[in-house]
Structure 1
Amino acid sequence: MNLRTVVAPSRLPSRISWRKHRAWLVSAAILVALALFDTPQAAESAIFAGRSLLATAPFLVLSVTIVAWAAATGAENLIARMFNGAPAIMIGLGALAGGLSPFCSCGVIPLIAALLTMGVPLPAVMAFWLSSPIMDPSMFVLTAGVLGLEFAVAKTLAAVGLGVFGGTVVHVLMKGGALVDPLRDVRGGGCGGAWIRAPKPVVWRFWAEPDRRTTFGRTALSTTLFLAMWLTLAFLLESLMLAWIPAETVTATLGGEGLLPIATATLVGVPAYLNGYAALPLVGGLVDQGMAPGAGMAFLVAGGVTSIPAAMAVWALVRPKVFTAYISLSLVGALASGVLFQLWSALT
């Protein structure tokens, strides 16, 4: 990937205008409407969003700090070059790291924003992005306990495999000239080419220079507001989905045998939000009642990678073509995971 295609970290926050903060108004409107028509749910949604933001805060703070530090020191060019090695190695490492990281589909957004704004190539980021929400060490243990060790191992392989598949597809597309300049809110002028062509010297002790201290503060504040705005709206919608769409109703539609239940589970899993930990006993119960194991796998993979709340955060972060690729790869990967696991289950 040519370094001309990366995005300057300092440019993302500078493009965020008050017009872009309309998501705050939507969140406020939701809470006001709930307060008027369903007061208890208004309180529950506000508390849920607050607790979710607090749970995400450590990752958000870490990611924002990294972005601001890279912009203030001038180290973003060095970081981008570190990830500009052999695509196959970078994609494989991204997928493997994602499969071992403790991020959910919404919680991974701040880290993805940090990686993209620092110019990390999109194929490696996409590999991490797709694999990260599906599996982590604690999820592996719980999955093994509820659905069996075979299912846990298969889900781990599905996570890493989806990451490698997605990263490879994105790499091929980018070689053909597609999906360059993935982030929104970037000024024109060569996709950040000027930033790469004339990088500032690296100054590790950035706090010693007033201009760099200012860059750090402005970058941290703007990036925090941008991410918090969309995550707040995402968590509010998540609370409403959990309250008004019972998980049992979603998973009860996935029974049966053959390819149709797997395809249905994939389509239902992508838009429906169901916490990965909460989904395990429900899917386990349905599998015990005769639901196809492949359908259970497809639902868990699709629901883990993306959901309506997470998709909104992704939409706010990247350009439409990258968003479309993200959703499409999720669908194809979840369907393939379900079909392969169903075939394996039939053979064993």
Structure 2
Amino acid sequence: MIETSLNVRSRTTDFAHQLWTKEKVWLFTASLLLALFALSPTLGFTTVSFALQNLLNVAPFLALSVGIAAYAGATGADGLIARAFTGSPAVMILIAAAAGGLSPFCSCGVIPLIAALLVMGVPLSAVMAFWLASPVMDPSMFLLTTGTLGFEFAVAKTITALCLGVFGGFVVHMVTRAGGLTDPLSEGVGNGGCGGAKVRTEQPVVWKFWSDDARVAKFWREGIKTTLFLAKWLTLAFILESLMLAWLPADLVARTLGGTGIAPIGIATLVGVPAYLNGYAALPLVGGLMEQGMAPGAGMAFLVAGGVSSLPAAIAVWALVKRQVFFLYLGLALTGSFASGLLFQLWTTF
């Protein structure tokens, strides 16, 4: 009897652990809403209304971005990235930066692919170009950025992604030519796991995937998976934005991150890495901050810095590469983010 009770308790604990691991964002969101309704029903209703309205506003962009991501996965078009890493160093850097701007990888998701590329012997300069550009922008992110922050901001962020990749790639190329950054991977790092399979084994692209049942199934599977992923982060983001608008004094934001000086951009760059939630979740939060007085350049710097190197990604990179490569990666990310914010601020001023 005691053994049966212990088994039931063990299974219950395992189920609770798995539920929390897989659905912790939804559970946190639900807990936050329950707490709001318990403490202030009026604020709870206002928050839910705000989140639902913004989800409806962004729904067309969400649907289009999900369709693009699912189509890329079903056709195998995401594997085209393997072809970016051939040719002369300058050509590789330029193509790798462009491929990074089109690839749907976040700062954490790109790391297994980076490991695979480095193990294969791809030059660090080309890898760095892809590494820096990929988390900043992709077609889905472009559409959602347009829907939340406007077309001009989306175009500027796309240009930033490409320039950041090219800048980082050529800096690494010059350091490498001088004899530095040899053997960049840490001891014991593997070949990138399943994330590197698309690079190691080039697969044909089937653009008319609907004639293949397996690819159709993958399309729907990827579509549902991406929809749930975006929905949970956007829901949390809009809830946090609503609370931010309700509780964060607008004059404090305007004083700290407003204006045209370099201080707000520098602060946003440094805060972007630890405060970043997720590329999709950060968009409405930055939109809310900009409505309260955040400088456009500071918003750009925050999004780029957090996108390239969020705290979880930085921890993973620390374990992946040697220390000099890590600090160079972090320095390039912060320098490029600050420069992008400064240039965007100057652009919006004139």
Q: TM-score, normalised by structure 1?
A: 0.60
Aligned to 1:155: 157
Structure 1 segments (4+ residues) deviating >4 Å: 42-45, 48-51, 222-225, 246-249, 251-254
> Does the alignment pair 1:47 with 2:22?
yes
Gaps of 5+ in 1: 1-34, 66-78, 188-218, 226-238
1:261 aligns with 2:236: no
Deviation for aligned residue 1:85: 3.1
Counterpart-to-counterpart distance in 2, 1:177 and 1:133: 28
Using the size of structure 2 for normalisation, the TM-score is 0.60
Query: Equivalent residues in 2 for 1:12-161 (5 A)?
Result: 45-48=20-23, 83=85, 85-161=87-163
Are residue 298 (structure 1) and residue 298 (structure 2) matched?
A: no
Structure 2 residue runs without a partner (length 5+): 1-12, 27-68, 196-232
SS of 1:270's partner is helix
The residue type paired with residue 297 of structure 2 is G
Q: Deviations over 1:105-160 (max 9, x none)?
A: 11111111111110000000000000000101011011111111110000000000
Asked if 1:335 corresponds to 2:338, the answer is: yes
C-alpha separation in 2, matches of 1:284 and 1:131: 22
CA shift digits 1:212-238 (9 cap, x unpaired): xxxxxxx77x9469xxxxxxxxxxxxx
**Structure 1 residue 255, shift from structure 2 partner:** 2.7
Q: Rate the CA distance shift 1:49–1:110 in 2: closer, same or farther, 3 A.
A: farther
Equivalents in 1 of 2:274, 2:319: separation in Å? Answer: 17
RMSD: 3.7
8 Å CA contact retained: 1:182, 1:322: yes
Match of 1:24 in 2: none
Asked if the contact 1:84–1:121 (Cα under 8 Å) also holds between the matched residues in 2, the reply is: no
Q: CA deviation at 1:170?
A: 0.5
Counterpart code for 2:329:
Y
Deviation at 1:185, TM superposition (A): 1.3
Task: Give per-residue Cα distances to partners, 1:174-223, cap 9 Å, x unaligned.
Answer: 11111111111169xxxxxxxxxxxxxxxxxxxxxxxxxxxxxxx77x94
**Would you say the 8 A contact 1:273–1:309 is kept in 2?**
no
One-letter identity of the residue aligned with 1:157: I
Q: Give CA-to-partner distance per residue, 1:73-119, whole Å, 9 cap, x none.
A: xxxxxx99x94632211100010000011110111111111111100
* 2: CA distance, partners of 1:149 / 1:267: 26
- 1:190 paired residue number: none
Give 1 or 2: higher helix fraction.
2
Partner Cα separation in structure 1 for residue 18 and residue 163 of structure 2? 41
CA 83–141 in structure 1, closer or farther in 2 if over 3 Å, else same? closer
Q: Which structure has more RCO (C-alpha within 8 Å, separation ≥ 6)?
A: 1
Stretch deviating more after TM superposition (311-320 or 253-262) = 253-262
Higher radius of gyration, 1 or 2: 2
Displacement of 1:280 after TM fit?
Answer: 1.0
- After superposition, where does 1:244-283 map in structure 2 within 5 Å? 248=244, 255-257=257-259, 258-283=261-286
- Give, as a single letter, the amino acid of the residue that structure 2 aligns with 1:46: T
Q: Deviations over 1:286-342 (max 9, x none)?
A: 212221000000000001001111111111111110000110000000000000000
Q: Identity of aligned pairs, percent? A: 61
Q: Contact 1:270 / 1:330 at 8 angstroms: preserved in 2?
A: no
Q: Secondary structure at the match of 2:274?
A: coil
Q: Residues 45 and 255 (structure 1 numbering): CA distance in 2 closer, same or farther, change over 3 Å?
A: farther
Alpha-carbon distance in 2 for matches of 1:147, 1:224: 34
Assess if the C-alpha contact under 8 Å between 2:186 and 2:320 holds in 1: yes
